[in-house]
Amino acid sequence: MSILIGFLYVVEVATCLLLGLAVMLQKPKEGGLGGLGGGSAMEAALGADAGNVLIKATAILGTVFLLNTLVLVRLTSTPKPTSVVSDGAAPASQSAE
């Protein structure tokens, strides 16, 4: 089970980094990191629909990140005891004096 949790942590970090990169590369209205690498490098690499590709990648990576986080929370959470009395032990009786 610990191998699966370790693998999911690696997927979580990789997805987080890729999601951040996809968000930063999107072309904003006022500039920003969208023009990284020269004027229209993203359009030359991905074609005229570079914005659509990055929007779809952001949506897919966001979904993977959310589902992976939920699975990790479920696998790494510790169950709470259902009873105040542990192991079903009977309380000690008190004698009336």
- Reported pTM: 0.62
Residue 56 lies in a domain: yes
Residue 94 lies in a domain: no
pLDDT, tens digit, for every residue of 31-79?
Answer: 555 555 544 555 555 565 666 888 899 999 999 999 999 999 999 988 7
Total domains in the chain come to 1
Residue 56 structural domain: 2-76
Residue 33 lies in a domain: yes
Closest to 27 measured CA to CA, from 46, 13, 11: 46
Residue 44 lies in a domain: yes
- Report the amino acid identity of residue 54: L
Output the CA torsion sign for 21, 26, 29, 35.
positive
Residue 30 lies in a domain: yes
Residue 93 lies in a domain: no
Residue 90 lies in a domain: no
Output the CA torsion sign for 26, 33, 19, 46.
positive
Residue 86 lies in a domain: no
Among 25-29, 64-68, 91-95, whose mean pLDDT is lowest? 91-95
Helices (H), the chain: 2-25, 41-46, 50-76
